[in-house]
């Protein structure tokens, strides 16, 4: 318990910390939750360690395991509402809406969109998150995951490359392709994200690299579908097919009102992030660019991820909302936003 008390004292003592953890872990909530434990052995200390050790965190709290979202709901629910800007946690049932798709290639002339990607995070219901996992848990999780991935057929059939014992050539190739994840995030490290590195971790991908799965990076699983050009329909349908096939073999963690659960409360609900890398040299230089994106519930970032600069007028444009709407609504929101961005860029270019 002294560990938790020390962490909380450090958080309380900081006058510069602006995290959602600091804002919502009141003394009253702390007293209510400090002695609670999940059946996975997860504690409040496991949830808040990273945010107390990194006082410059934005969110500052992770879930110790899927059950943590229920056991530590008083603080996690408050953080989730604040982060996702929702008044209540009533995430609708999953609906991929594949039979309702009314879009195809968003840039048929291939003038602006460089590539398209859709990804989701998933967690095994029967395993905890990084703070409570032991080495044998990671290995067991890797085993059941790989067995399920090996049942994929057709365009989804691929190969699993474990990080343990990976050859330098494979490592270099995957890094060059921007597929390989690393162990360099201090926020994740403090939350136990890199314990037993690289055991139990790896990457599965198809020969054409249009579908890949990260195993035990930050989340248990991350499914990614991508390809060059702007054909959002192809990318989305491929991802949905993979999710629905794997759901027959694996049980994913969910909570009513929150949808799919992942390690970080910033990524819940659909957990879906659909994005394009798009050349918008004109629109991106206008003073109202951010307001334009906000109007369509999309966000623009540099192509190397959050907080990075654009390269050559190319931006990563994605849907902003993941919680409180269905997968189909999220993909439609991104699609409408991207179409508006294309129309505006063409207008500014006098086309």
Q: Which residues pair with 252 in a beta bridge?
A: 124
Q: Produce one character per residue of 277-305: b if its CB has 16 or more CB atoms within 10 Å, e if not.
A: bbbbebbbeeeebeebbeebebbbbebee
Whose structure tokens read 């991929």? 96
Q: Binding site annotation covers 115?
A: yes
Q: Binding site annotation covers 118?
A: yes
Q: Binding site annotation covers 273?
A: yes
Q: Binding site annotation covers 164?
A: no
3 state SS of 7: helix
The candidate with the shortest Cα–Cα distance to 242, out of 147, 149, 144, is 149
Q: Binding site annotation covers 144?
A: no
**What value does the CA radius of gyration of the chain take, rounded to a whole number of Å?**
21
Q: What are the DSSP calls for 324-346, one per residue?
A: SS-HHHHHHHHHHHHHHHHHHHH
Q: Binding site annotation covers 220?
A: no
Q: Chain centroid to CA 163: how far?
A: 20
Q: Binding site annotation covers 277?
A: yes
Residue 105 φ then ψ, to 5°? -90, 125
For 115, residues 6+ apart whose C-beta sits below 8 A from its C-beta are 226, 227, 228, 229, 276, 277
Q: Binding site annotation covers 304?
A: yes
Q: Binding site annotation covers 305?
A: yes
Q: Binding site annotation covers 302?
A: yes
CA dihedral of 29, 30, 36, 39, whole degrees rounded to 10: 80
Q: Binding site annotation covers 274?
A: yes
Q: Binding site annotation covers 318?
A: no
Q: Binding site annotation covers 192?
A: no
Q: Binding site annotation covers 321?
A: no
The CA distance from 218 to 241, in Å, is 23
CA dihedral of 122, 125, 131, 132, whole degrees rounded to 10: -160
217, 181 Cβ separation under 8 angstroms: yes
Q: Binding site annotation covers 275?
A: yes
Order of strands, edge to edge, in the sheet holding 298-301? 159-162, 202-205, 211-215, 221-228, 113-122, 273-279, 314-319, 298-301
Residue ranges for the known binding site are: 115-119, 178, 222, 273-277, 301-306
Residue ranges for the known binding site for ATP are: 115-119, 178, 222, 273-277, 301-306
């Amino acid at each position: 318990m002294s560990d938790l008390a020390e962490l909380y004292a450090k958080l309380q003592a900081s006058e510069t910390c602006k995290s959602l953890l600091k804002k919502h872990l009141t003394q009253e909530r702390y007293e209510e939750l400090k002695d609670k434990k999940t059946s996975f052995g997860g504690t409040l200390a496991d949830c808040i360690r990273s945010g107390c050790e990194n006082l410059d965190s934005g969110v500052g709290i992770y879930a110790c395991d899927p059950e943590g979202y229920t056991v530590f709901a008083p603080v996690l629910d408050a953080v989730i509402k604040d982060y996702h800007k929702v008044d209540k946690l009533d995430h609708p049932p999953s609906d991929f809406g594949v039979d309702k798709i009314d879009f195809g290639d968003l840039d048929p002339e291939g003038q602006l969109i460089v590539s398209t990607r859709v990804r989701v995070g998933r967690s095994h219901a029967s395993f905890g998150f990084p703070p409570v996992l032991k080495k044998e848990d990671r290995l067991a999780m890797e085993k059941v995951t790989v067995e399920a991935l090996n049942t994929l057929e057709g365009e989804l059939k691929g190969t699993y490359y474990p990080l343990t014992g990976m050859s330098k050539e494979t490592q270099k190739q995957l890094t060059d392709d921007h597929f390989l994840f690393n162990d360099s995030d201090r926020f994740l490290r403090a939350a136990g994200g890199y314990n037993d590195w690289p055991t139990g971790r790896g990457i599965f991908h198809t020969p054409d690299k249009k579908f890949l799965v990260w195993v035990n990076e930050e989340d248990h699983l991350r499914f990614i579908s991508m390809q060059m050009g702007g054909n959002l329909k192809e990318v989305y349908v491929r991802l949905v097919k993979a999710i629905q096939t794997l759901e027959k073999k694996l049980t994913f963690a969910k909570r009513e009102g929150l949808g799919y659960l992942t390690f970080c409360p910033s990524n819940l609900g659909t957990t879906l992030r659909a994005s394009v890398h798009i050349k918008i040299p004109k629109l991106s230089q206008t003073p109202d660019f951010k307001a334009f994106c906000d109007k369509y519930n999309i966000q623009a970032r540099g192509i190397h991820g959050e907080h990075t600069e654009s390269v050559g007028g190319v931006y990563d444009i994605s849907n902003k909302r993941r919680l409180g709407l269905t997968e189909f609504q999220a993909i439609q929101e991104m699609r409408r936003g991207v179409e508006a961005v294309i129309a505006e860029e063409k207008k500014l270019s006098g086309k």
